[in-house]
């Protein structure tokens, strides 16, 4: 058989004699190269040195007649060869009869961005009887036909659901425009269906529901077949109702509707909604379908590995009870459990029966609305009902202020006026026009309201990294005003944001680190003592979760919920977390890491600012950004003769930023760990 050069690697298969020439160790390394492992990761997994890995790779290149790792991975698909050892990943052998050709099915489980379109008729039995099964069957076949045409036109995949169809965008390859193609598909199907003559001739309107979802999904490939096991709805999924007939919309909090309506009007979008939990299932219309079940972010488990932080919080609570409070900011990246820790504190203080807990949440959608996070604590103080509209809540709060706190009622009116003005006028200009006098009035309002209860009070603002600039300024001044009293101001944020926080000198900071490997293993064992795969699977999940509680529990949920083949080999199915997938994807070109690091640190950054950081020449930066946008990791938009760059997924940004803080890739990354509270 003639030799084949690397230039023909895309169109040729691996020669049999080349495989036979490879040793077991070389074939093992080739499988790991194909899985995207770096030399260092291969060395750590196999227990050998990087130099030995390089020597084996040189021999592999020579036997395969290729020049680099990429061509070796392409030549080393090994679709007809078994895996030499159990350490090689993503592969399982299928049972076969003696005498038949032996074949190996490659199995991979991944978490990747995915956009879905759900199209289905919601027809009751009485409606079906009135329409006639034959007529409705014709209409249903038209919907199936339109979905298949849309899948061909917009490059999607069609799967059948009970009473409808599911179109997938992002499989088997993630594209930057997946969400846009899903939205275009939904509008196209809706328009074609409503204008079809047969649909128009129906004796009564048939509720047609078409929804668009964007999120993340657990996807597997098995023997060339791609399967969607379930969506990971750990983050809010954008659901846009295209056609819902006469069905009511899912219930949403009033403030959420106002924020969503503001963004829809501002950007000229159809009015979307962000349901959570059961509301999402109701929106899709498949409340019991396993593909749309929402897993818990962090199950109710002991705070393993956070004992010292918990003692610090208890001591700070005792100091506050005696009138010697000090404002606190809990700092950690996404998934470290900062909100979970503070939820435990809330339950602990409520059990004592002497504390008042007020809580507000900063939202990324509301970062242009001045003081928006403080409306929820006001509603809690005035005992507003959650089902009230925003206008009803506002009227009740103002009436409550005039009745019980007349001296600061005017400050409450200023807060709502400013919130209303930034919502319906130009928000950027309105924010810049806020004066220091208005800020002082808000500080006086909140110190008076919090002190009026005459009991220890906690005001907790979560996700400060998404707060507007004036909420941050108010937080700093309010922290200084509340120190040394029975008012305890607590915030939770991410480390990258804390560096620019103006009030750090008057705040204590509590920084959460990664969990130790043994602690992560104990956490998984506590959550699910009887796990198929036992300690072997737990140890592997502990290792690949990188000490992040959220990643560890999501891996555990994958092992528990999603059907996987050959339970005894489950330990080989979870070598990757979301972090690992992104690291492997970027490991091909190391120059991108400096660009990724800068963008992850700034969350959003302009291309002109990125070029001034002097990390690479401008042409190299632009090429790296184009590549990262192409693979779907980053998003960009043209704004004011510049290019704004951001991460498409906040979880991915946090995962990458955590890795950079740990100096896994570059030793020159400066880690500024906040000071622990005294």
CB 59, CB 28: distance < 8 Å: no
Least confident stretch, 102-111, 276-285, 317-326, 492-501: 102-111
DSSP H or E run through 355: none
Q: Are 329 and 399 found together in one domain?
A: yes
Residue 361 confidence class, pLDDT cut points 50, 70, 90? confident
Q: Are 172 and 81 found together in one domain?
A: no
Q: Are 464 and 559 found together in one domain?
A: no
* Mean pLDDT rounded to a whole number for the chain: 66
In a domain, 316, yes or no: no
Residue 161 confidence class, pLDDT cut points 50, 70, 90? low
Side-chain half-sphere CA neighbours of 458 within 13 A: 27
The mean pLDDT of 358-369, rounded to a whole number, is 66
Domain end residue (candidates: 489, 511, 533): 511
Q: Are 500 and 528 found together in one domain?
A: no
Rounded CA-CA distance 404/397 in Å is 10
Query: What percentage of residues in the chain have a pLDDT greater than 70?
Result: 54
Q: Are 564 and 614 found together in one domain?
A: no
The mean pLDDT of 369-397, rounded to a whole number, is 80
Residue 357 confidence class, pLDDT cut points 50, 70, 90? very high
Domain end residue (candidates: 485, 511, 537): 511
Least confident stretch, 99-108, 162-171, 220-229, 480-489: 99-108
Question: What tens digit of pLDDT does each residue of 656-673 get?
Answer: 654 444 333 333 333 333
Given a cut of 80, whether residue 116 has pLDDT beyond it is no
Output the pLDDT for position 563. Answer: 44
DSSP string, 156-197: -EEEEETTEEEEEESSSS--TTHHHHHHHHHHHHHHHHHT-H
Domain end residue (candidates: 462, 491, 511): 511
Q: Are 70 and 138 found together in one domain?
A: no
- Please provide the size of the chain in residues: 678
Bond from prior residue into 627 cis (ω within 30 degrees of 0): no
Given a cut of 80, whether residue 399 has pLDDT beyond it is yes
The mean pLDDT of 47-73, rounded to a whole number, is 78
Q: Are 198 and 285 found together in one domain?
A: yes
Output the pLDDT for position 320. Answer: 92
Residue at token pair 């160790």? 25
In a domain, 362, yes or no: yes
In a domain, 562, yes or no: yes
Q: Are 361 and 435 found together in one domain?
A: yes
Output the pLDDT for position 490. Answer: 94
The CA-CA-CA angle for residues 454, 458, 462, to 5°, reads: 155
Looking at per-residue pLDDT, the higher value among 6 and 198 belongs to 198
Output the pLDDT for position 153. Answer: 79
Residue 560 confidence class, pLDDT cut points 50, 70, 90? low
208-222 and 356-361 strand pairing: unpaired
Q: Are 165 and 134 found together in one domain?
A: yes
The mean pLDDT of 544-568, rounded to a whole number, is 61
Output the pLDDT for position 317. Answer: 94
Looking at per-residue pLDDT, the higher value among 359 and 154 belongs to 359
CATH code, 34: 1.10.10.10
CATH code, 201: 3.30.70.1230
Q: Are 248 and 376 found together in one domain?
A: no
Q: Which residues, 6 or more positions from 599, have their beta carbon under 8 angstroms from its beta carbon? A: 605, 610, 634, 645, 646, 647, 653
Number of domains in the chain: 5
In a domain, 370, yes or no: yes
Domain that holds residue 499: 324-511
In a domain, 93, yes or no: no
Least confident stretch, 13-17, 411-415, 544-548: 13-17
Output the pLDDT for position 406. Answer: 86
CB 392, CB 253: distance < 8 Å: no
Q: Are 421 and 530 found together in one domain?
A: no
Q: Are 383 and 505 found together in one domain?
A: yes
Output the pLDDT for position 424. Answer: 34
Supply the pTM of this predicted model: 0.49
Output the pLDDT for position 581. Answer: 44
Q: Which among 625, 629, 636 has a CA at the least distance from the CA of 595?
A: 625
The mean pLDDT of 412-435, rounded to a whole number, is 54
Given a cut of 60, whether residue 234 has pLDDT beyond it is no
């Amino acid at each position: 058989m003639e030799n084949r050069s690397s230039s023909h690697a895309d169109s040729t298969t691996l020669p049999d004699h080349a495989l036979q020439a490879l040793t077991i160790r070389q074939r093992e390394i080739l499988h790991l190269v194909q899985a995207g492992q770096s030399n260092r990761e291969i060395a750590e997994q196999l227990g050998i040195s990087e130099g030995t890995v390089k020597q084996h790779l040189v021999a592999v290149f020579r036997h395969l007649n290729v020049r680099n790792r990429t061509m070796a991975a392409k030549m080393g698909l090994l679709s007809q060869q078994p895996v030499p050892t159990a350490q090689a990943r993503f592969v399982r052998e299928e049972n076969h009869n003696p005498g038949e050709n032996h074949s190996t099915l490659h199995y991979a489980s991944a978490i990747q961005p995915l956009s879905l379109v759900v199209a289905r008729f919601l027809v009751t039995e009485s409606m079906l009887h009135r329409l006639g099964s034959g007529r409705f069957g014709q209409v249903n076949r038209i919907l199936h036909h339109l979905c298949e045409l849309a899948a061909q036109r917009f490059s999607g995949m069609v799967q059948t659901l009970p009473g409808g169809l599911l179109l997938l965008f992002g499989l088997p390859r993630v594209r930057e425009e997946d969400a846009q193609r899903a939205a275009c598909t939904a509008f196209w199907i809706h328009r074609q269906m409503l204008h079809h003559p047969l649909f128009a001739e129906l004796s009564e309107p048939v509720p047609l529901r078409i929804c668009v979802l964007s999120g993340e999904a657990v996807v597997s490939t098995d023997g060339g077949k791609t399967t969607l096991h379930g969506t990971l709805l750990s983050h809010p999924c954008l659901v846009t109702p295209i056609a819902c007939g006469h069905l009511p919309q899912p219930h949403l909090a009033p403030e959420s509707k106002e924020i969503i309506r503001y963004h829809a009007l501002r950007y000229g979008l159809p009015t979307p909604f962000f349901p959570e939990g059961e509301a999402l299932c109701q929106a899709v219309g498949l409340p019991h379908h396993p593909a749309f079940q929402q897993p818990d972010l962090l199950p109710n488990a002991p705070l393993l590995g956070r004992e010292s932080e918990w003692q610090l919080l208890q001591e700070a609570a005792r100091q506050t009870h005696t009138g010697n409070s000090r404002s606190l900011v809990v700092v950690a990246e996404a998934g470290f459990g900062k909100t979970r820790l503070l939820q435990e504190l809330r339950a602990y203080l409520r059990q004592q029966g002497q504390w008042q807990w007020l809580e507000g949440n900063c939202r990324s959608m509301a970062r242009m609305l001045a003081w928006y996070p403080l409306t929820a604590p006001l509603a809690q103080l005035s005992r507003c009902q959650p089902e009230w509209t925003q206008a009803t809540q506002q009227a009740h709060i103002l009436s409550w202020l005039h009745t019980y706190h007349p001296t600061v009622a005017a400050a409450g009116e200023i807060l709502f006026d400013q919130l209303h003005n930034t919502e319906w006028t130009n928000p950027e200009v309105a924010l810049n026009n806020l004066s220091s006098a208005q800020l002082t009035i808000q500080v006086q309002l909140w110190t008076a309201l919090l002190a009026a209860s005459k009991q220890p009070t906690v005001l907790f603002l979560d996700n400060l990294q998404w707060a507007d600039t004036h909420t941050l300024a108010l937080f700093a001044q309010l922290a200084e005003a509340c120190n040394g009293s029975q008012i305890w101001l607590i915030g939770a944020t991410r480390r990258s944001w804390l560096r620019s926080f103006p009030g750090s000198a008057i705040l204590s900071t509590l920084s959460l680190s990664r969990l130790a490997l043994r602690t992560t293993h104990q956490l998984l064992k506590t959550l699910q003592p009887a796990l198929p795969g036992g300690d072997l699977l737990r140890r592997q999940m502990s290792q690949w979760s990188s000490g992040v509680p959220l990643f560890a529990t999501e891996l555990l949920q994958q092992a528990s919920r999603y059907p996987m083949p050959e339970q005894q080999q489950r330990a080989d199915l979870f070598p990757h977390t979301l972090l690992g997938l992104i690291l492997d994807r970027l490991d091909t070109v190391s120059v991108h890491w400096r660009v990724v690091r800068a963008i992850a640190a700034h969350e959003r950054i302009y291309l002109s600012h990125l070029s001034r950081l002097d990390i690479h020449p401008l042409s190299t930066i632009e090429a790296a950004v184009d590549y990262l946008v192409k693979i779907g990791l980053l998003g960009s938009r043209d704004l004011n003769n510049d290019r704004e760059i951001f991460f498409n997924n906040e979880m991915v940004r946090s995962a990458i930023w955590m890795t950079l803080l740990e100096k896994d890739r570059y030793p020159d990354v400066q880690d500024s760990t906040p000071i622990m509270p005294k």
